[in-house]
Structure 1
Amino acid sequence: MAEIVLGVGASHSTLMNTHWEETTHKAEAERFREALVTARERIAAARPDVVILLGSNHFRGFWLDLVPPFTLGVGECIASGESGTPKGPQRVDAHLAGHLAAQVVESGRFDLAFSARLQIDHGQSHAIQYLLADLDVPIVPLVVNVFAPPLPTFGRCEALAHALRAALDSYPEDKRVVVIASGGLSHRLPWPDWRDPHGEDDDFMVQAWLDGRENWSDYDVRRREIIRAAEAAISPEFDDRILDLFETGKAAELAEFSTDEVDTEAGNGAQELRTWLMMAAMVNYVPAERLAYEPMPEWLTGMGVVVLDPTTRPLAP
């Protein structure tokens, strides 16, 4: 049986890499980065044989020609390497990944998409860079669509997490598994609903998402300019409420959130909290330890880190 020994949720931002020197909230930035180091140390101490890496994709591996709700990497995994994140092949536990794909499909609960040549971007490689640095451990990547509506519901994400947990329980070998959720917390990217763009920038973005599969870097300069010109839209109150749910073992309440509710309260980037919900569900919603929360306007994002240790005793009801 594959045993989940730790869960981690962590925000990501490539602006950590590209605009560190321009960051004015240095103390907050340092505290967040130190929390990533602490989380990495906790992962190392858990001695994982494999990491299941739940993350989003920012139209660098998936394009509007095909956007599955959930895609499991079962073979090659290539990181796009944008903005100083890791680039090139990433080591995948293909045997475990294949088992998960087969068991989830054969259960009849999901027709899970899979890829034998998956391209990931900073939605997952940011976690590889900071949480798995110098750890020789393979991954099983799962990409959740959080940016190309219609999006899978939070409840559907929870259901897939339960199916993955059941598939891990049926794995014939002993493996120690860490589950990492990359993304969130509150932030708003200057990205349109591809179905209803308004204005020149929106039209450019949608065209990039349609045509960028072979030449995404051709669109990247203007794309980065649009992102850098955006004003931060961080909601610390929302973020604190979410982190409190995790700390009190009540993260299952996220399954009742709606896409519109999250967008209104916390921005389109907060749709990445689907991965946090899935991670928590796979660790049976044990109470989390909050390692950091810093609202970082220079990075456009409320940056948080939590650790869920299944060896801890659940809170009394």
Structure 2
Amino acid sequence: MTEIVLGVGASHSTLMNTHWDQTLHKDRAERFRDALHQARDALAEARPDTVVLVGSNHFRGFWLDLIPSFTLGVGECLASGESGTPKGPQPVDVPLARHLADTLVDGGRFDVAFSARLQIDHGQSHAIQYLLDGLGAEIVPLVVNVFAPPLPTLDRCEQLGRAIREAVLAFPGDRRVAVVGSGGLSHRLPWPDWRAPDGEDEEFMVGAWLNGRNNWQDYDQRRREIIRAAEAAITPAFDEEFLALLERGEAHRLTAYTSEQLEEAAGNGAQELRTWLLMASVLDHVPGRRLAYEPMPEWLTGMGVAVLDPADTARA
């Protein structure tokens, strides 16, 4: 019998790898890193065979020549390896991934895109590095478009999570499945709306997103310079409210936001909370447990970690 054994939501930042020595709030950074280790220990205790890894992509695996709302990796999965994150082939649970794709389509609810050779970036490989290291679990990667509007609605992400839950539980094999949502919390990236770039930097970014499929590395240095020059825009009050909803099993209330309202409340980077929402939906919104929340201006992001454990609910 296949069962869903754990959910984890975790922020990501490549600046953990590249600028740790320049981090001023070391106490906050260490608490966040320790929380990642706690979440990794919780995953190890849950003993998943497979992790459904829900994440964003920062225009290193997807470009403006083709941006699906949702893409399942059903074959090879290659990590781009930027900024010290894992690089190269990642182990995919192909039977479960293809079962999900087939079931979602056959059920008439979601025509998800699929890739037999999916390239992921730190939107998922950061979680592989810090949460899945040494577990020996395979992954089913699911990429959500959170950066190239029009974005899938938050309600649509909630619905997809419920459909994935049903499909996982109907899998005829014997799997222990965990789900990880990677991204968020509040932050603002110096990224334009691709439909209306304003100024030289924004035009450069849109050009990189459009033309970088075969040479994204050529654009990377200036991309990172633009990001490093940005001022932090973190909204701790929003982050605290969202984490409180997650702890109460009410993350579905995030669906009250439109994409525009979410950006206004917590920045364009908060669009990544679709990955947490989707994860929580697969876990049927069992009450969560916050492991850390640290506003990290050096990393431009409100950094959070939480665990959703169905066993906690059963014990309660």
Task: Give the TM-score taking structure 1 as reference length.
Answer: 0.98
Contact 2:4 2:169 in 1 (8 A): no
Distance of 2:76 and 2:173 partners within structure 1 = 22
Q: Specify the code of the residue in structure 2 equivalent to 1:112.
A: V
Distance of 1:129 and 1:313 partners within structure 2 = 28
Distance of 1:280 and 1:11 partners within structure 2 = 15
What number of residue pairs does the alignment pair up?
A: 316
**SS where residue 20 of structure 2 aligns?**
coil
**Deviation at residue 314 of structure 1 after TM alignment:** 7.7
* Equivalence for 2:235: 235
**Deviation at residue 277 of structure 1 after TM alignment:** 0.5
* Equivalence for 1:18: 18
* Equivalence for 2:58: 58
* Equivalence for 2:297: 297
Distance of 1:131 and 1:69 partners within structure 2 = 25
The alignment status of 1:188 with 2:156, answered yes or no, reads no
Structure 2: tracts of 5 or more residues without a match: none
**Deviation at residue 315 of structure 1 after TM alignment:** 12
Partner deviation per Cα, 1:191-228 (whole Å, 9 max, x = no partner)? 00000000000000000000000000000010000000
Q: After the TM superposition, which residues 269-280 of structure 1 pair with which residues of structure 2 at under 5 Å, given as runs?
A: 269-280=269-280
Identify if the C-alpha distance between structure 1 residues 66 and 288 changes in structure 2 by more than 3 Å, giving closer, same or farther. Answer: same
* Equivalence for 1:146: 146
Q: After the TM superposition, which residues 94-243 of structure 1 pair with which residues of structure 2 at under 5 Å, given as runs?
A: 94-243=94-243
Q: After the TM superposition, which residues 63-78 of structure 1 pair with which residues of structure 2 at under 5 Å, given as runs?
A: 63-78=63-78
Contact 2:63 2:209 in 1 (8 A): yes
**Deviation at residue 313 of structure 1 after TM alignment:** 2.4
Q: Percent of aligned positions with the same letter in both sequences? A: 70
CA-atom RMSD, angstroms? 1.1
**SS where residue 51 of structure 2 aligns?**
strand
**Deviation at residue 275 of structure 1 after TM alignment:** 0.6
Distance of 1:248 and 1:166 partners within structure 2 = 22
Partner deviation per Cα, 1:152-205 (whole Å, 9 max, x = no partner)? 000000111111111112110121001000000000000000000000000000
Q: Specify the code of the residue in structure 1 equivalent to 2:103.
A: Q
**Deviation at residue 256 of structure 1 after TM alignment:** 1.9
The alignment status of 1:259 with 2:255, answered yes or no, reads no
Structure 1: tracts of 5 or more residues without a match: none
Contact 2:12 2:182 in 1 (8 A): yes
